[in-house]
Amino acid sequence: MERSTAAVLGLGLIGGSLAFRLRNKGYRVIGYDISEERTQTAFHLGAISEGRSSPAEAARDSDIVFIAAPVGAIVPIIEDIIPHTRPGAIVTDVGSVKRPIMEKVEALRPPFTFIGGHPMAGSEQGGIEAADPNLFENAVYVLTPMGEDAAKEESFRQLAGLIESDLGATVMAMEAKVHDEVVAAVSHLPHIVAAALVHALGRTAERTPAALALAAGGFRDITRIASSNPHMWRDISLSNSNQLLELIDHMIDSLSIFRNYITDNDPQGVEEFFSRAKKFRDSLPTLQSL
């Protein structure tokens, strides 16, 4: 789409990275964050052209609006900006859960085009200070469009073009329900498992403090994502609870199977368990994801 005015509502890692990238590509970027201090920091760092004191003020003059807020805050922000956003504007979000948001926004019947979005990129670090304009390079960026009329299809093409040409990501269109099923497996459950592994280490360290000294290598790597924002992951887990409950049951079943191999002293079963995982893991693509 033509270089224009973009609003970024939420200036943490994802929003800040979006703002930096869009400014680098020649957009006028209007920023808002619930923290006025963070908005000022984003301005002084050069991530935004100017700041606003409310989502409505930031969205008012914008051609495209990115809502980079926690999952639980996205719909309230949309409700807030509806009376103030241009009917021809494109509004999108970056939330990690899509179906509940899409259903609620559809019921609101906003005058603008809303397209759900989720960049499969990120870091355990947070805040505008961790923002990276290259964060989306070569990442998959999921879009979940709403409706199929010509105007919405044109808006989808415009947004997809921006994401691919200006952010450097690869767009994948997906139904909201399918998206939530997939990310529960590739993103949400891994965060829960990483947190559970850290809790397990904590119990061991209570008995043997020296365990902490041995957790500096591979353990830190495999549990890196457990350092992510707890507030954000609370919202994500509760918003995608049905999908997660099913996957947690599958995880428990898998661990029970492995437990039985150990209990039965079954070396073939143990090796096959790891072999199947290795074969599938080695077949995974190398595109960035979180």
- pLDDT of residue 1 exceeding 60, the answer is no
Rounded Cα distance, 250 and 248, in Å: 5
In percent, the amount of the chain with pLDDT more than 70 equals: 97
Question: pTM for the complete prediction?
Answer: 0.87
Question: H or E segment at 115?
Answer: strand 113-119
Taking 3-state DSSP, the helix, strand and coil percentages for the chain, each rounded to the nearest 5, stand at 60, 15, 30
Q: Which two tokens stand for residue 279?
A: 């074969």
Strand partners, 110: none
DSSP string for 158-196: HHHHHIIIII--EEEE--HHHHHHHHIIIIIHHHHHHHH
- pLDDT of residue 288 exceeding 60, the answer is no
Q: Which two tokens stand for residue 45?
A: 């760092």
CA dihedral 249, 255, 261, 265 (to 10 degrees): -140
pLDDT digit string, tens, across residues 153-168: 999 999 999 999 999 9
Rounded Cα distance, 193 and 188, in Å: 9
- pLDDT of residue 290 exceeding 60, the answer is no
In percent, the amount of the chain with pLDDT more than 90 equals: 82
Count of residues in the chain: 290
Where does the pLDDT of residue 90 fall: very low under 50, low under 70, confident under 90, or very high at 90 and above? Answer: very high
**Other residues' Cβ atoms within 10 Å of the Cβ of residue 256:** 9
pLDDT digit string, tens, across residues 43-87: 999 999 999 999 999 999 999 999 999 999 999 999 999 999 999
Assess contact for 273 and 258: CB atoms under 8 A: yes
- pLDDT of residue 4 exceeding 70, the answer is yes
Predicted pLDDT of residue 68: 97
Pairing of strands 50-51, 90-93: unpaired
Question: H or E segment at 279?
Answer: helix 267-282
Sequence-distant contacts of 86-90: CB under 8 A, at least 24 apart: 86/62, 86/112, 87/111, 87/112, 88/63, 88/112, 89/59, 89/62, 89/63, 89/64, 89/65, 89/113, 90/63, 90/64, 90/65, 90/115, 90/155, 90/158, 90/159
Rounded Cα distance, 24 and 34, in Å: 24
pLDDT digit string, tens, across residues 235-283: 999 999 999 999 999 999 999 999 999 999 999 999 999 999 999 999 9
Mean of the pLDDT values across residues 115-138? 90
Helix, coil or strand: residue 25:
coil
Predicted pLDDT of residue 213: 86
Predicted pLDDT of residue 146: 82
pLDDT digit string, tens, across residues 189-238: 999 999 999 999 999 999 999 888 888 778 988 998 898 889 889 999 99
Assess contact for 98 and 120: CB atoms under 8 A: no
